[in-house]
A and B are shown apart, each in its own frame.
Chain A
């Protein structure tokens, strides 16, 4: 009996592609154009991934953030009272949106890049002429896409519970985008050094979540006694949350210029480190 796999395999009427396909090395495209196409392909793949597995990527953060709104709105919010002249729910909402943006930007890149490493299909990209910048930026944009989509959905849901004036719309969007970019690069670094699935949960669980919870999402840093107040200034997420809150409510515990400085520092630092690691092949080339 013949193996059906062997007999139904080739299409006898199809042309041998090696006789018909022009070699990419003969094409007259510029390197810049090729780099752009490679980058765009990676972005398309990442966006497609987020959309394809939306019950895993988009739904859970929206549900969990809605639970925060319910708890800090009708359940606890009225008992806590006002903070910096706004209701408690209004106060925490920018932080909750920012929390969703940064954790999802981070997790998207970590899970996508580590998944590609784990299944070895990262080799598809590594054997191609794509530059390290195109690979890094492609993954990062995927993370930014997920972070911002979730941030937007959470923001829309928040409007059902709280009045959000959005005092500085451009600044609000800029802070969300920059934070998302910084954490997407951070996620990329985590994925590069990760050797197993534990390694991709350690940073989100033991670093990201505590820093976010202690990053002024639920309280004003001015309420803290020393030395906790001073220590809090070492937490970069504090600056991002406050800048975002300033954009929405016009209130912040710290200067906005300083927050943008911290954001820029993190973006440049994470980007440089991720690019260096990718070029060296750390965690992906032996």
Chain B
């Protein structure tokens, strides 16, 4: 397949067994199309960071193959690395160097001559609002600034594929929203983005495609919209004007009373909210506010992970007699 039509990333049978015998990846197959904003979700220890680590060559793989824009990493690892920018989960900047030096050096590692490297670094730092801090020791930057610095560093060589491992972990909501807007702009400029995150709200807001990984396997790989369509029911929490003492009986709806006098209503897919409002009117219940019980993707995610664990538990163990 030619480079111009090949996907941004293709993983085939990716496996990783650590020295302590832990099998972190059990044959990952994944394809990320160019220009996509792709989310890789999964619970802790599912294999997200291991996958990212292998793609960025920070972790040695035990099996499988990786292609970046059609370049097989076994054949041309350096060529594949040129196309990737990576923002790790942990802060990994040299605390004793200033931002301009850090970003310009990164450009240098990609073979960009020093003068041009400094110009590129300046451009990235200006865009990130770090130009005024260019000569400040990085250790004195705030947490949010350090994260922006890591993004600037990942962008300086103009990667076609940007990989971010939980870029908003541990930052407050305002910085998280600012990072989202930044990532959207980067993606709109044509850069493919792969994001791992714990925040399902983040994945729903940003990612057009999502893969869910659990126990070293991909349990779902589809576009976000189709994934959300798989929701069979959605649960809403309704706050009545007067706290209720028991769950209201609403025809065609399952309801549950909550401790604070509010109640939950399960609405099946395809049932309009008007029907609920009509039932509430008939029951003479005045509602002051209404909200989703959980993020929609979260409900789906938990269901898929539970399903995956159920399958793993019922699967025959290697030492069992299966005849």
Task: Please give the residue numbers on chain A whose beta carbons come within 8 Å of chain B beta carbons, in ascending order.
Answer: 2-3, 5-11, 14-27, 29, 31, 33-35, 37-38, 40-42, 44-45, 48, 52, 116, 119-121, 123-131, 281, 285-286
Report the separation of the CA atoms of residues A119 and B92 in the bound assembly, to the nearest whole angstrom.
6
Q: Is B108's CB under 8 angstroms from A15's CB?
A: no
Report the separation of the CA atoms of residues A116 and B97 in the bound assembly, to the nearest whole angstrom.
12
Q: Is A16's CB under 8 angstroms from B127's CB?
A: yes
Stretch in contact with the other chain, from B173-181, B223-231, B281-289: B173-181
Report the separation of the CA atoms of residues A17 and B95 in the bound assembly, to the nearest whole angstrom.
24
Q: Could you give 24 example pairs across A and B, Cβ below 8 Å? A: A3-B144, A17-B120, A18-B186, A21-B155, A21-B156, A24-B110, A24-B112, A25-B158, A31-B78, A37-B108, A40-B114, A41-B108, A44-B105, A120-B90, A120-B92, A121-B93, A123-B88, A124-B92, A124-B109, A127-B84, A128-B109, A129-B78, A129-B79, A285-B59
Interface centre among B19, B56, B110, B123 (most CB of A within 10 A): B110
Which 10 A-B residue pairs are closest in the complex by CB-CB distance?
A34-B111, A41-B108, A6-B174, A128-B109, A23-B158, A120-B92, A18-B189, A129-B78, A5-B144, A14-B126
Chain A CB within 8 A of B23 CB: no
Residues on B with beta carbons closer than 8 Å to the beta carbon of A3: 144, 172, 174-175
**8 Å CB interface, B172-200 against A:** 172, 174-175, 177-178, 182, 185-186, 189-191
Report the separation of the CA atoms of residues A248 and B31 in the bound assembly, to the nearest whole angstrom.
65
Chain A CB within 8 A of B218 CB: no
Report the separation of the CA atoms of residues A116 and B93 in the bound assembly, to the nearest whole angstrom.
9
Chain A CB within 8 A of B209 CB: no
Residues on B with beta carbons closer than 8 Å to the beta carbon of A126: 57-58
Q: Is A23's CB under 8 angstroms from B159's CB?
A: yes
**8 Å CB interface, B38-72 against A:** 53, 56-60
Residues on B with beta carbons closer than 8 Å to the beta carbon of A26: 158
Report the separation of the CA atoms of residues A116 and B92 in the bound assembly, to the nearest whole angstrom.
9
User: In the complex, how many residue pairs between chain A and chain B have their CB atoms under 8 Å apart?
Assistant: 176
**Chain B: CB-nearest residue to A22:** B158
Residues on B with beta carbons closer than 8 Å to the beta carbon of A14: 123, 126-127, 129
Q: Is B189's CB under 8 angstroms from A6's CB?
A: no
CB < 8 Å: which of A2, A8, A18, A128 contacts B81? A128
**Besides A25-B158, A38-B111, 17 new A-B residue pairs in contact (Cβ under 8 A), listed by A number:** A3-B144, A6-B175, A8-B129, A9-B144, A9-B148, A17-B127, A17-B156, A18-B185, A21-B156, A24-B110, A25-B160, A38-B110, A120-B90, A124-B106, A128-B81, A130-B109, A286-B19
Chain A CB within 8 A of B134 CB: no
CB < 8 Å: which of A7, A33, A38 contacts B108? A38
B4 to chain A, nearest CB (A): 13
A12 to chain B, nearest CB (A): 9
Q: Is B111's CB under 8 angstroms from A16's CB?
A: no
Report the separation of the CA atoms of residues A29 and B79 in the bound assembly, to the nearest whole angstrom.
12
Residues on B with beta carbons closer than 8 Å to the beta carbon of A35: 111
A255 to chain B, nearest CB (A): 43
Q: Is B58's CB under 8 angstroms from A285's CB?
A: yes
Residues on A with beta carbons closer than 8 Å to the beta carbon of B123: 14-15, 17, 20-21
CB < 8 Å: which of A6, A20, A31 contacts B177? A6
Q: Is B109's CB under 8 angstroms from A18's CB?
A: no
Q: Is B157's CB under 8 angstroms from A24's CB?
A: yes
Residues on A with beta carbons closer than 8 Å to the beta carbon of B177: 6
Residues on A with beta carbons closer than 8 Å to the beta carbon of B106: 124, 128
Residues on A with beta carbons closer than 8 Å to the beta carbon of B113: 37
**8 Å CB interface, B91-129 against A:** 92-96, 101-102, 105-106, 108-114, 117, 120, 123-124, 126-129
CB < 8 Å: which of B82, B92, B105 contacts A25? B82
Report the separation of the CA atoms of residues A44 and B26 in the bound assembly, to the nearest whole angstrom.
42
Residues on A with beta carbons closer than 8 Å to the beta carbon of B145: 5, 9
Residues on B with beta carbons closer than 8 Å to the beta carbon of A123: 58, 86, 88, 92
Q: Is A9's CB under 8 angstroms from B157's CB?
A: no
Q: Is B186's CB under 8 angstroms from A11's CB?
A: no
Chain A CB within 8 A of B277 CB: no
Residues on B with beta carbons closer than 8 Å to the beta carbon of A23: 82-83, 157-160
Residues on B with beta carbons closer than 8 Å to the beta carbon of A127: 56-58, 81, 84, 86
CB < 8 Å: which of B57, B105, B129 contacts A10? B129
Q: Is A124's CB under 8 angstroms from B153's CB?
A: yes
B125 to chain A, nearest CB (A): 9
Residues on B with beta carbons closer than 8 Å to the beta carbon of A22: 158
CB < 8 Å: which of A29, A33, A116, A286 contacts B18? A286
Interface centre among B105, B155, B172 (most CB of A within 10 A): B105
A222 to chain B, nearest CB (A): 48
**Chain B: CB-nearest residue to A19:** B189
Report the separation of the CA atoms of residues A34 and B82 in the bound assembly, to the nearest whole angstrom.
11
Interface centre among B58, B96, B101 (most CB of A within 10 A): B58
Q: Is B155's CB under 8 angstroms from A18's CB?
A: yes
Residues on B with beta carbons closer than 8 Å to the beta carbon of A124: 92, 94, 102, 105-106, 109, 153
Interface centre among A2, A23, A52, A116 (most CB of B within 10 A): A23
